[in-house]
Chain A
């Protein structure tokens, strides 16, 4: 990690108010990403990976509320920033690409126009130059015949092609941080690798930090410098990739690695981890939300967890491996 991280998240907590109760979706989430670094967030479905990303982007559902925390990006705290400050940062300093690229694009607007919209908003690009610049961006993400493709609609393109367009939109304003939320889910294996290569290459060129959200621990192991493991809205472990894979400290991480024996399996096949995520609406959630599934539970586990400091290798566990 470099001295001044691109993004430092501290103590981030998010709740959703729903009819059936308050969902404590995130609690005391902390991590940092250095400039040019790739951080992977892994965890099973419902662990709060997307909510973390949305909270940072300021695009949480109206039902969601950030109850605590800081997220400092280039000297600005995204959590306490005013709406107008955020509006300038979003898409310019911090950008995001999503799962399901086909639905993530406006179905009735040519893709070139969608890129041009972002360029005109953030890139100081005059209206007349925007279409040409959009074509340049399409070329940069490896789309052949970009001038013709710019006039196409998303439904005329393959999923991989749409994801390239998404990357072009996200990188249009040369952001300092890119959040990629399961960018390759639903794409075939070859396309997955190509998409990841494009992101890595463009990030490397500009020194951009990347947060890469995935189910796939094996993929995270190949692509990330650091890995944050999330479980039920908590960060349970945060370490350099090599250290985490070689010597996991949290029982949950160990289970994850055991459940991903070869690099082909993904966390979707998590049936082998006993128990399921606790209901996040419960009033009596234990301090460690993994304790009810944990084979290494000790008496101390009922005490409040160690707070996620920005340690080199952090483990939220009283009885680590």
Chain B
């Protein structure tokens, strides 16, 4: 990349960041209104069923819920600006510290799921496209159809039933680590990395063991869209004019498929990855429930059930920020692959 191109990529990033500001403001407003619209009265909930009317009112004042909506909003934004997402009423912990421990759990799971599914789906899509009508092409089509029709909690339960209950190969689906282990000293928050950093191989294997089934569940879930997109985009590129030129120049099949076709075919696949990742964020909620994963999804669900505002707000905001960050990463990746983006930017 030339200096001009690097500058263009930097401009691109800056532009995208600025463009994200209005959507983030929107998210702040919407989450505030949405959590206020939740059914149930949190004051009554936390005062307990036996509480007197006065006790409930006391809790209401303590939570600031007696104020008008605009007043509550101003307070909410002021706290946000200080990096304070409030305190969870159920756990009594600050939401920020809850998210800080739970987000890496979800992220580790989601990333591993994505890696698993890319590792299978991308080669599958390429092989299917280079051999149309072959066995592997049909296999790809089966995967693409089956993948979308299997609900994610169902896959999770089946995997648990077969590999834990029947075969006993997998550990009990009870979180990130077996109770006999204690978590590695946190550096990245990813147990796989932290255990390696701590030089603890046993711990690494133990956390990998716990990760396999839930990651597989997410992987199976995202297999279909990635495989389908890779196949379609490879097919399109393989019949394009420049691949015909490469063939006519006698370049080797490997160079044609990988250097010429695949790099071009990656562009729509990268876009799909962004979409798949946001699907995964949603699927996480279910998978975390099935595997008792102490992630951010299960945290949000529990808070939602308890009409606990602050964690729900914190969750939605975190997701929005993740989403913006993700799209930024995809834009950068796109710019790295495609010179047209970085030079035109």
Contacts and interface: CB of A to CB of B under 8 A. Distances in A.
Interface string A80-111: 00000001111110011010100111111100
Interface string B175-217: 0000000000000000000000000000000000000000000
B242 to A, nearest CB: 5
Contact of A117 (B132, B244, B251): B251
B240 interface: yes
B249 interface: yes
Nearest to B253: A87
Given A107-B242, A108-B340, A156-B343, A169 B260 contact: no
B339 A91 contact: no
Contacts of B242: 103-107
A90 B244 contact: no
Given A108-B339, A108-B340, A117 B255 contact: yes
Given A62-B132, A108-B263, A153 B248 contact: no
Interface in B207-260: 240-242, 244-252, 255, 259-260
Contacts of B255: 117, 121
Given A98-B241, A107-B264, A90 B132 contact: no
A42 interface: no
Given A108-B264, A153-B340, A156-B343, A88 B250 contact: yes
Contacts of A194: none
A66 to B, nearest CB: 16
A104 B241 contact: yes
A138 to B, nearest CB: 16
For the residues of B in contact with A, the DSSP-based class is helix
A151 B339 CA distance: 11
A253 B251 CA distance: 39
B339 A105 contact: no
Nearest to A99: B241
A6 interface: no
Contacts of A100: 241
Contact of B251 (A98, A118, A156): A118
Interface residues of A, number: 32
Contact of A107 (B2, B259, B340): B340
A117 B337 CA distance: 19
A106 B260 contact: yes
Contacts of B337: 108
Contacts of B66: none
Contacts of A106: 242, 245-246, 260, 264
Nearest to A96: B248
A57 B247 CA distance: 9
A59 interface: yes
B302 interface: no
A108 B343 CA distance: 11
Contacts of A103: 240-242
A196 B240 CA distance: 25
Interface of B: 2, 132, 240-242, 244-252, 255, 259-260, 263-264, 337-340, 343
Interface of A: 57, 59, 62, 87-92, 95-96, 98, 100, 103-109, 117-118, 121-122, 151, 153, 155-156, 166, 169-170, 172
